[in-house]
A and B are shown apart, each in its own frame.
Chain A
Amino acid sequence: MIAWLRANPDAFLDALVQHLALSGAGLAIGVALALPAALLLARRPVLAEWVSAGAGVLRTLPSLAVLAALLPLLGVGFTPSVVALALLALPPVLLHALVGLRGAEPAAVEAARGMGFTPLQSLLRVEVPLALPQIFAGLRTAAVQVVSGAALATFIGGGGLGDLVTQGMALLDIAQLQVGAIAIALLSLGTEGGFGWLQRRWERA
């Protein structure tokens, strides 16, 4: 493995950078869609129920199935992979945010209304701050799923560390395969640990 890394540092770095780019873009787009959606749905409980149910279904779909389903629609390459990863990131962020907003301490929300907050002021100054721990938990789950899901992008030509695994398999190059697999695992664990650390740090603040 070390030998393979010594021999192919560029191939490894390229795959790593691609993996991070895929994950970052997918997560960013997913969050950018899910958070505003959660805010819009916060005042529409019935619609929120339906969307939650839909997001729940989307969440249970295996990542590989999503990728495969998107193939005929979007073709192969980086962009379809990012779209698929965004779809992967969306449900946890949306669901956690909705749960957090719905669960925001009712007495505080009632007091906010009773003291003359407009609905928007109440949402942004009371409900969202109270939902932040949940929102962050959703972000953490989504990030881990996207980072590990990005390993599958290789199947639709999206690149990333998954390439090392598939190429290793095709060429029966066990060292390359192992470098890819271990890097993916470490990256996922690191994401989980990093977000967890951020969360604890922020909760203490």
Chain B
Amino acid sequence: MIELRGVTKAWPGGAGVQALDLGVAEGECCALIGPSGCGKTTTLRLVNRLVEPDAGSIRIAGQDALRQDPVQLRRGIGYVIQEGGLFPHRRVGANVATVPALLGWDARRIAARVEEVLALVGLDPAQYRDRWPHQLSGGERQRVGVARALAADPPVLLLDEPFGAVDPLRRAQLQQEVLALLKRLRKTVLLVTHDVQEAVLLGDSLALMRGGRLVQHATPAEMLARPADGFVADFLGADRALTRLGLFRISDAARDAADAPGAPLPEATTLRDALAAMLERGVTALPVAEGGSLTLEAVLRSR
């Protein structure tokens, strides 16, 4: 759906992108990660041509993005930036209506769509439509930002550190909700984040960049299990094995038929949480609510 081939962009101060090949399949979410200045944000901005490449080709939904009018191109791509980038002088409803209004939809269709997308992101339209952005919490602003990006129903969304300004307690829930929503709507997503946990949680694939180059592009499980080199391993963190266990659930692991003592865990528990429960209880087997038990052996084997 998004196809970058040999894309190069040099900045005078460095931090550009060199000969980048990156593909994101339809309905998938690719998380761009890497240290500051690695070119991940530049890569994102190349896709909607906020940055013009020096060389290479960019195709979106089979169309050559570089031959389209950039303004028209951007109206067809959802864009969410940190804190939402809401217009402070426009109410929530008007913010959400931005792209449909640019596209010239009639007022009734816009109003209906605003209600629809606000409800999609979990905000009651009647309660939020007429508020000002400064009256919202960080999480609510971010939800409005996502609603605004979805308003004209673009097939592709670009998210630049979308949860950076949300307080950590609410972040996990918002991440889960947005992920579930984008999956349900079958959106193709390119996400920039500096948070490995967030990338692992949201990304169908991770693209790790360094110095303007793509170092490794793989599924989270693959990258965490087999980092391409020491840099990737370091970036993913010493606890990458634990991070990886967070990708699997008890239902993914081999189950022992024997019962185990203690309070049972539901199948949907991640292996990371299951391992933590074993450590906490000082046991090597846990009962599973749906039947049988999970052994430490099984957790280790699913590495």
Q: Do the two shown chains form a genuine complex with each other?
A: yes
Does the CB pair B87–A111 fall under 8 Å? yes
* Of the residues B45, B79, B83, contact of A115 by C-beta under 8 Å: B79
In the assembled complex, the Cα of A129 lies from the Cα of B75 at a distance in Å of 22
Interface string of A149-189 (1 = CB under 8 A from B): 00000000000000000000000000000000000000000
B108 in contact (CB, < 8 A)? no
The stretch from A19-27, A81-89, A102-110, A191-199 touching chain B is A102-110
In the assembled complex, the Cα of A114 lies from the Cα of B79 at a distance in Å of 6
CB-defined contacts of A126 to chain B, threshold 8 Å: 87, 89
Nearest residue (CB) in A for B158 is A114
Does the CB pair A114–B98 fall under 8 Å? no
In the assembled complex, the Cα of A105 lies from the Cα of B73 at a distance in Å of 24
Nearest residue (CB) in B for A117 is B102
In the assembled complex, the Cα of A23 lies from the Cα of B86 at a distance in Å of 40
Does the CB pair B74–A107 fall under 8 Å? no
CB-defined contacts of B71 to chain A, threshold 8 Å: 116-118
In the assembled complex, the Cα of A108 lies from the Cα of B88 at a distance in Å of 8
* Of the residues B48, B73, B85, contact of A107 by C-beta under 8 Å: B85
Interface size grouping (class) on chain B: 20 to 34
A55 in contact (CB, < 8 A)? no
Does the CB pair B50–A107 fall under 8 Å? no
Nearest residue (CB) in B for A119 is B71
* Of the residues A108, A115, A129, A130, contact of B74 by C-beta under 8 Å: A115
- Smallest beta-carbon distance A122→chain B, Å: 10
In the assembled complex, the Cα of A108 lies from the Cα of B76 at a distance in Å of 19
In the assembled complex, the Cα of A180 lies from the Cα of B71 at a distance in Å of 58
In the assembled complex, the Cα of A126 lies from the Cα of B95 at a distance in Å of 11
A111-B79, A114-B48, A116-B71 given; A105·B99 CB < 8 A = no
Nearest residue (CB) in B for A121 is B102
CB-defined contacts of B84 to chain A, threshold 8 Å: 107, 111
Secondary structure of the A contact surface, majority rule: helix
Does the CB pair B79–A129 fall under 8 Å? no
In the assembled complex, the Cα of A129 lies from the Cα of B148 at a distance in Å of 20
Does the CB pair A107–B81 fall under 8 Å? yes
- Smallest beta-carbon distance A121→chain B, Å: 8
Query: Which residues, 111 to 131 on B, are CB-close (under 8 Å) to A?
Result: none
CB-defined contacts of A129 to chain B, threshold 8 Å: 89
CB-defined contacts of A112 to chain B, threshold 8 Å: 87
- Smallest beta-carbon distance A165→chain B, Å: 45
CB-defined contacts of B86 to chain A, threshold 8 Å: 108, 111
CB-defined contacts of A114 to chain B, threshold 8 Å: 45, 48, 50, 74, 79, 81, 85, 158
CB-defined contacts of A105 to chain B, threshold 8 Å: 88
A43 in contact (CB, < 8 A)? no
Nearest residue (CB) in B for A125 is B87
Does the CB pair B50–A108 fall under 8 Å? no
B82 in contact (CB, < 8 A)? yes
Does the CB pair A116–B87 fall under 8 Å? no
B63 in contact (CB, < 8 A)? no
In the assembled complex, the Cα of A115 lies from the Cα of B79 at a distance in Å of 6
Nearest residue (CB) in B for A111 is B85
Give A residues with C-beta under 8 Å from B: 105, 107-108, 110-118, 121, 126, 129-130
List 9 tightest A-B contacts by C-beta distance, closest first. A111-B85, A116-B75, A116-B74, A114-B79, A107-B85, A129-B89, A116-B71, A108-B87, A118-B71
A-B contact pairs, 27 of them (CB 8 A): A107-B81, A107-B82, A107-B83, A107-B85, A108-B86, A108-B88, A110-B85, A111-B79, A111-B84, A111-B85, A111-B86, A112-B87, A113-B74, A114-B48, A114-B74, A114-B81, A115-B75, A115-B79, A115-B148, A116-B73, A116-B75, A116-B76, A117-B71, A117-B102, A126-B87, A126-B89, A130-B89
Give 19 A-B pairs besides A107-B85, A115-B99, A115-B148 with Cβ atoms closer than 8 angstroms: A107-B81, A108-B87, A110-B81, A111-B81, A111-B84, A111-B87, A112-B87, A113-B74, A114-B74, A114-B85, A114-B158, A115-B74, A115-B75, A116-B74, A116-B76, A116-B99, A117-B71, A117-B102, A126-B87
